[in-house]
Amino acid sequence: MQVTETLNEGLKHEFKISVPASDLDAKLDARLVDLKDKVRLNGFRPGKVPVSHLKKVYGRSVMAETIDQTIRDTNTQIFTERGFRLATEPKVTMPTEEKEVEQLLSGHSDLTYTVSIEVVPPIQLADFKSFNVEKPVAEVSDADVDEAIKRIADQNRTYAPKAEGAKAESGDRVTINFKGSIDGTPFEGGTGENIQVTIGSNTFIPGFEDQLVGIASGETRTLKVSFPKNYASAKLAGQPAEFETTATLLEAPQAVDINDEFAKMLGLESLDKLKQAARERMAAEFAGATRQRVKRLLLDRLDESHKFDAPPSLVDEEFNLMWTSIKAEMESAGKTFADENTTEEAAKEEYRKIADRRVRLGLVLSEIGEKNKITVTDDEVGRAVIERARSMPGREKEVWDYYRSNANALAQLRAPIYEDKVVDFILELANVSEKKVSREELFKDDDAEKTAA
């Protein structure tokens, strides 16, 4: 066998390989000998078919299998000897002319092909014991609990009809009938009957609820609004519209006594139990926010500590996935890059940087996990499937069957589990210090990140 490297540029390599016809013929005979005891041919006793006859009957098909296996074995040998970790599947180029293919399958010519690869660069891992990570921690205060209970009370507030002749105020619930039009023409989905609107809830188009203030039961008004530019329907996004609206019922919110009876209405024994449940739920939310903050800080530290050229094909693949998603979201929302105060070229450059970071971090995390034998068990994946099924009441079996029959979906569940286990491994080595912060400080970065997205 002869191996010649014909390309060595950065992470890209190409080799030209030649395997003598005699080697292929020897491998072919070995496969035919193995086949002899398995085939049944008329006129021959089991296991007594001459190899020469088998070659006449099965030679071409077995030679094709032999060539395929030889290429795989040869490539593996080349990559292993050079210590290559492949970033993508090898690209093999074979002879395509009919005469060359015929000569090869009949065993009359050497196997000559080229293989092109892109490799993962060697990654020198940082000393994680030198990492300093500040862990923001916020305690759930009594005021936080009281605020949460108040929100629960507001969500369970009852309403009572207002007196005849009363006017709608902020906080009131108004039952309305409406007909919408754009330039005098009704549009699909623009009508509604007996629709309840709570003034100030901001659940309708901006400006709609505000114009209901002062309306009386039985009164009809024409409300003038504009659909948001990012409205779900591209046909309506940014369009000015008018809604002929009639109020049929006005209701005022009733006071809610936050006491044991209120807690029992929610299925808890007492107000103390309700407060305890609210505190535990908020503590879990705070812990989740702390975890995300620490993880982001750690990933930033890993990014700073591991600078290397990511395989271009992996970056291209990650970028294309991101860019396709971004374009689809913008088209759905009816947005342009100008709306985001940028250009398509600038946005592409920014997302390519993000794709590069994601690929490098993925390779670093994989390297850490591999060197430290970090794995994800089937039980851990199974628990993740169960949690996903529980989050969709009534569809548990459908979710379970989906993951059981979809390897790619299982892999998508496995990936974040693996990432979290690697993060935990690093945090055990790093110098982690706690910093007391307020609730607002803890969630501040999350809000900023959502806005940027």
Q: Which residue did the predictor score with more confidence, 339 or 364? A: 364
- Region 157-253: CATH code: 3.10.50.40
pLDDT for 449 equals: 45
Q: What is the mean pLDDT of residues 190-214?
A: 94
Residue 67's alpha-carbon distances to 16, 58, 138, 243, in angstroms, are 15, 14, 64, 73
Reported confidence tier of residue 332, pLDDT bands at 50, 70, 90: confident
Which SS3 state, helix, strand or coil, does residue 37 take?
Answer: coil
The domains of the chain are located at: 2-118, 157-253, 271-452
- Looking at CATH, the fold of the domain delimited by 271-452 is given as Trigger factor, domain 2 (1.10.3120)
Q: What is the mean pLDDT of residues 348-354?
A: 95
- Looking at CATH, the fold of the domain delimited by 2-118 is given as Alpha-Beta Plaits (3.30.70)
pLDDT digit string, tens, across residues 86-122: 999 999 999 889 999 999 988 889 999 999 999 999 9
Dig out the tokens for 266 from the structure.
Answer: 């929610």
Reported confidence tier of residue 290, pLDDT bands at 50, 70, 90: very high
Q: Do the two domains 2-118 and 157-253 of this chain adopt the same fold?
A: no
8 A C-beta contact, residue 116 and residue 95: no
Q: Please state the pTM of the whole predicted model.
A: 0.75
Burial of 417 per CB tally in 10 Å (0-12, 13-18, 19+):
middle
pLDDT digit string, tens, across residues 57-95: 677 888 899 999 999 999 999 999 999 999 999 999 998
Q: Which residue did the predictor score with more confidence, 117 or 44? A: 117
Q: Which residue did the predictor score with more confidence, 49 or 105? A: 105
Q: 271-305 and 142-155 are packed helices; what angle lies between their axes, rounded to 10 degrees?
A: 110
